[in-house]
Amino acid sequence: MAPPTQSRPGRTLAVLAVLIGLLYGFVWLAAPTALGEDQLSAGQRYQPRLGLDLEGGTSVILTPRRAEGAGPVPKDSLNQAVSIIRNRVDSFGVAESEVTTAGDNIVISIPGKQDKSILDTVQQTAELRFRQVLLSGPGVATPTSTASPSAATSTPSASPEPSTSGSPSGSASPSPTASTDNRAVPRALRANSSPSASATETPATTSTPAPTASAPPGTGQAAITPELQQEFAELDCTDPEAVRQELRTPGRDNPKKPLVTCDEDGAEKYILGPAEVLGTDVDTATADLAMNNQGVATGGWVVNLKFTGEGKKKFGDVTRRLFAEQGDLNRFAIVLDGLSVSAPTTNAVITNGEATISGNFTQDEARDLANVLKFGALPLTFDPGEVQEVSATLGGEQLRAGVIAGAIGLALVVLYSLLYYRGLGLVTAASLLVAGVITYGMVALLGWQLGFRLSLAGVAGLIVAIGITADSFVVYFERIRDEVRDGRTLRVAVETGWARARRTILAADFVSFFAAAVLYLLSVGGVRGFAFTLGLTTLIDIVVVFLFTKPLVTLLARTKFFGQGHPLSGLSPDRLGAPRRTLTTRPPSRRPAVATRIPKEASS
Amino acid sequence: MSRVGTVGARLYRGEVSYDFIGHRKLWYVVSLVLIAVSVVSLLVRGLTLGIEFRGGAEFRVAAPSASEESVRNTVSDVVGGEIVVQRVGNSTIRAQTETLTSDELEEVQTALAERFDVSSDEVSTQFIGPSWGEDISRKALRALVFFLIGIVIFLSLYFEWKMALAAMIALLHDLLITAGLYSLVGFEVTPATVIGFLTILGYSLYDTVVVFDKVRENTAGLSGGSRMTYSGAVNLAVNQTLVRSINTSIIALLPIGAILFAGVVLLGAGPLKDLALALFIGVAVGAYSSVFIAPAVLAGFKEREPAMQALAKRVAARQGKAATPSGSPGASRKAAGVPADAELDEATDETPAEPVGAASGAAAARPRPGDRRPASRPRPQQRKGGRNRSGGKKKR
């Protein structure tokens, strides 16, 4: 602690006042002016947001889709789905949502009546697959199965290389099928339908392209059967969502087989090879600002993927093979729940295990997708039921009783410390008040910033935590009194006592904070909410002790009432049993000399 | 109040002290009895898990006339236990109960249908899974293991590994007794209870850290001298922090007690009482173990070290020289290598005498500024050592 804090307690207190003012200002800025249709009054903006048990929320029932004639939904898959959905819900903030099973269904309940969009995101299956593009075309149904003549005419401008190069990689199939002909079409179309896609694969550590001859079976154009050709021709991408719904039928989207599908905006359709890299190969996913080649943000958002060790190798192999290819075969599609999100060209061999998905994402979309991908795909596909509002499970009287009881309890704390510590008890009271004000402001702010919501247990926990905060004052006061008992004057004792109390307080608070951090990072659901509260109150404890209690005591020690050890100050040397001579044997003239020594002692 | 303050001062100087370490066997017995009761209670009564952990049955009534309160009453007339009632959408009320037999299920269904004048079909029933599923518990346990490993490392670095071990033993002691007493009271275990347990985890360690911080301060550089045994220094630390321990416990227990009162007496149901009961027991047991158990366990570990045994011999020898007749038998026992337990009473009984003499010595020295300790870090040790030395000189 820097000496100025000790010598200028007034300034420290002013800093704290400014910080608290800023905190409450931030709450005002962070709070929306309206929630849904309801305008928020000033009071409501400063209200902490309450949890599912106290405020109610929104609930949706997900019914797993079953294949025809398949048996009951396996319990394991259901539990796994619950766990994944819970992780996803948690990644949206510290709201203590509830995910549970009801019969064969999954029920998701989130607090608050306006956050319905979260429900759409978390129930996404999020099956991510990387498939090689075998063939692409405009997203409309073509009446004839092969469209080569018209295709050829439509592409004079954009096809950069002759479409003759489609030498199928070393797959065992005898000859390219007739479909090679219409490869020119997609090239042209791709040039304007997904221009950004090709730029995204640049974070590459390009190694020398060594085309491997060991392409897995089913890749390359050899895999395009007449049936696929037929399906491709008939596919109509004007309503991509309908295509997705159809593809989500269990057993329909088989990773081991080629897939005919659309891209998300329906502009393009593809025949895709079997999946070569899967969602399970993804280690983490983050939403980032899109960068162009120069590393300048373009204003768009992308999702960056980091593969696991296995995924890194697979992805490296795929890009190595595709890099050697030309035309459509040079592209791979990133398929999410059946539809292609983007289908970039491979212009480098990517061996660092990183890939970027660029669609036309907004920040929220990119964040949602990253959150969903991070925790893997659901083992089942669900049909969402109606979204319903649910009421609070606990009546308002529970919250009222808890708050009133807590307030009475804290009042007793103040009373006790007044009785025991006399004048210093007032410091306790003021410190508790400041801790309460900061806690309230933080809870309100984090409610708007992080979606932090208080359950009843959380409210009680906060009150108790504020009480436990008082321990820091007790540790400090007892140290001061010990120093006075050792015969120091109060002004010295306040500083030397602080130097020692500070270490104890920091060590003990570190233990609490460490507990909070580990529990927060490694657990889910209610435990996570608790850990958040614990960490928050621990930090507030440190702020209050350092920026309020200590400077206040320093200031008070300069007053006659405390400094001279008035019997009611709680620091009377007589009453503390200090040797009598403390005040009498030391000539008053010595005091300044002692006082100048303080900072050195205290900061050592 | 002034008397309390004076007692604090006398505790601080060691004029008054309770021999926590010397009487440790008594407190070990107390703890063992509590643990035995807890284990028996956990095995016999067990912990009743709430529907959040076990799942249960759910009824949905679609009747415009139904209110949350009326549904709750209707269901609770048929089955007991925890009932969670919630309005879903505009006209549906959902009631969740503990797992029911199919007979009970039908009974509740009929009761609800009759009460709200709808056909039985309009009261849907289904089994619901736990909202606090196994995966939450598993992840929380994993987090706990990581936390405990981390905290042992931290305490080993900040203090020493024996202190870390003693703190862990005290922590397990607290958790076991809290769980046992909770099961004895017979409240259901809800998520609020688990949160209470987790709070105790942090609180118990926090409390122990505060006491051990003082122990470390008192024992720094101890083994070089012959003034005080390790156990004696620990005992002094516990006595010096006793006032803090009592005050902190009272201050922490006041709001918890108020919430417990409100939860049990005024509301009678809901998460407040579960949380507050777990916290109340845990904070009380945590305070108890930080005073009576953790320091004693630590002293037990440390007194096995050869350096500390040698110290104990030197202290005994010195006290023998000081020629208090009562000191000599203790000294001879110590010389014979009898481990800490027996001689502690004497060692610590001696301590009050010392600082009194020391205080006067220090008081005489005080006006000289040169006598002030140079740095504050290992202060009490140096100071007390210094005092003692000056006191000793005067005696000689």
CATH code of the domain in which A75 resides: 3.30.70.3400
Res. B31: pLDDT tops 90: yes
Q: Does the residue B10 lie in any domain?
A: yes
Q: Which residues does B154 contact at the CB level (< 8 Å), separation at least 6?
A: A510, A511, A514, B164
Residue B56 sits at φ, ψ, to 5 deg, of 180, -150
Q: Average pLDDT for residues B343-351, to the nearest whole number?
A: 38
- Domain of residue B105: give its range: 56-128
Averaged pLDDT, B48-56: 84
Residue A8 CA: distances (Å) to CA of A3, A20, A21, A428, A601: 8, 19, 20, 21, 17
- The answer to whether A241 and A214 are in contact (CB under 8 A) is no
Tell me, yes or no, whether B115 and B141 share the same domain.
no
pLDDT tier at B14, thresholds 50, 70, 90: low
Number of folded domains that form chain A? 3
Specify whether B214 is located in the same domain as B282: yes
Q: Find the residue in A nearest to B209 (Cα).
A: A508
Question: Do A388 and B89 lie within an 8 Å CB cutoff?
Answer: yes
Tell whether A428 and A513 lie within a shared domain.
Answer: yes
Q: Are residues A299 and A253 in the same domain?
A: yes
**Is B292 part of a structural domain of the chain?**
yes
Count of residues making up chain A: 604
Banded model confidence at residue B266, pLDDT cuts 50, 70, 90: confident
Q: What is the pLDDT of residue B282?
A: 92
Q: In this model, does residue B363 exceed pLDDT 50? A: no
> Rounded distance, CA A580 to CA A573, Å?
7
**pLDDT above 70 as % of chain B:** 77
Closest CA to A94 of A56, A133, A50, A136: A50
Same domain, B118 and B158: no
Same domain as A440, residue A370? no
Range of the domain at A538: 406-580
Looking at the structure, do residues B259 and B164 belong to the same domain, yes or no? yes
Q: Is A64 helix (H, G, I), strand (E, B) or coil?
A: strand
Assign residue A135 the CATH number of its domain. Answer: 3.30.1360.200
Same domain for B292 and B191: yes
Mark whether A346 and A248 lie in a shared domain: yes
H or E element in which residue A299 lies: strand A297-307
Same domain, B161 and B257: yes
Shared-domain flag, residues A115 and A147: no
pLDDT tier for residue B322 given thresholds of 50, 70 and 90: low
How distant is the alpha carbon of residue A593 from its chain centre? Answer: 55
- Do B252 and A468 count as a contact with CB atoms less than 8 A apart? yes
ipTM above 0.85, yes or no: no
Residue A567 shares a structural domain with residue A472 = yes
Cα torsion through A545, A547, A553, A554, rounded to 10? 140
Are A494 and A572 part of one and the same domain?
Answer: yes
**Angle at CA of residue B23, ends B21 and B26, nearest 5°:** 130
B388 pLDDT higher than 90: no
Q: Give me the CATH number covering residue B239.
A: 1.20.1640.10
Contacts of B43 (CB under 8 A, 6+ apart): none
Judging contacts by C-beta atoms under 8 Å, the chain A residues touching residue B287 are none
Amino acid identity at A340: S
pTM here? 0.72
Residue B278 within any structural domain of the chain? yes
A205 & A354 share domain: yes
* Nearest residue to A463 via CA among A544, A537, A548, A547: A537
| H helical segments located in chain B | 2-13, 24-44, 51-54, 68-78, 102-115, 134-158, 161-185, 191-219, 230-240, 242-261, 271-288, 294-302, 306-321, 327-335, 340-350, 353-365, 379-395
Task: Encode pLDDT of B120-141 as tens digits.
Answer: 878 888 888 887 777 778 888 8
Q: Which residues in chain A are contacts of B9 at CB distance < 8 A? A: 481, 485, 576-578
pLDDT higher than 80, residue B365 = no
Same domain, yes or no: B148 and B43: yes
Query: Residue B225 domain-assigned?
Result: yes
Residue B167 lies in a domain: yes
Q: Do A445 and A347 reside in the same domain of the chain? A: no
What CA–CA distance (Å, rounded) separates A304 from A299? Answer: 15
Q: Tell me which residues of chain A have a pLDDT lower than 70.
A: 1-7, 36, 67-70, 94, 114-116, 142-222, 570-571, 573-604
pLDDT score of B5 more than 60: no
B134–chain A Cβ distance below 8 A for any pair: yes
**CA B231, CA B212: separation in Å to the nearest integer?**
13
The pLDDT-based confidence of B371 (bands split at 50, 70, 90) is: very low
Q: Which amino acid is at B127?
A: F
Greater model confidence, A359 or B212: B212
Token readout for B359 is 């205080």
Q: Which residues of B touch A422 (CB under 8 A)?
A: 1
Half-sphere exposure of A442 (CA within 13 A, CB side): 19
In chain B, residues with a C-beta closer than 8 Å to the C-beta of A485 are 9, 12-13
Would you call B202 an interface residue with chain A, using a CB distance cutoff of 8 Å?
Answer: yes
Measure in Å the smallest separation between the Cα of B105 and chain A Cα atoms.
15
User: Cβ contact (<8 Å) for A471 and B252?
Assistant: yes
Domain presence at residue A587: no
Q: What is the mean pLDDT of residues B378-393?
A: 39
| Residues B102 and B185 occupy one common structural domain | no
pLDDT at A361: 79
Closest CA to B226 of B16, B392, B343, B366: B392
Do A91 and A204 belong together in one domain? no
The CATH number of the domain holding residue B84 is 3.30.70.3400
Kindly state whether residue B318 falls inside one of the protein's structural domains.
Answer: no
- Cβ burial, residue B90 (10 Å; 0-12/13-18/19+): exposed
Domain boundary, last residue among B285, B302, B319? B302
Query: Residue A105 pairs with which residues in a beta bridge?
Result: A102
- Cβ–Cβ < 8 Å for B57, B100: yes
Looking at the fold, whether B294 and B191 belong to one and the same domain comes out as yes
Boundary residue ending a domain (B110, B128, B146): B128
- Please say which residue of B302, B327, B351 terminates a domain: B302
Same domain for B188 and B259? yes
Does residue A388 form part of some domain?
no
CA neighbor of B142 nearest in space, from A518, A283, A90 = A518
Residue A139: predicted pLDDT: 75
Task: Give the pLDDT of residue A151.
Answer: 39
Q: How many separate domains does chain B show?
A: 2
What was the pLDDT predicted at A69?
A: 66
What mean pLDDT do residues B91-117 have?
Answer: 85
> From the centroid of its chain, how far is CA B337?
34
Query: In CATH, what number is assigned to the domain containing residue A449?
Result: 1.20.1640
Statement to judge: residues A115 and A133 lie in one domain: no
In a domain, B308, yes or no: no
How does strand A354-361 pair with strand B56-62?
Answer: unpaired
pLDDT in tens, A151-190: 333 334 333 433 333 333 333 333 333 333 333 333 333 3
Query: Is A35 contained in some domain?
Result: no
Per-residue pLDDT, B9: 67
Query: What is residue A340's DSSP assignment?
Result: E
In a domain, A589, yes or no: no
Tell me, yes or no, whether B366 lies in a domain.
no
A435 and A497 within one domain:
yes
B131 and A98 Cβ atoms separated by less than 8 Å: yes
Q: Which residues of B touch A86 (CB under 8 A)?
A: 133, 135-136
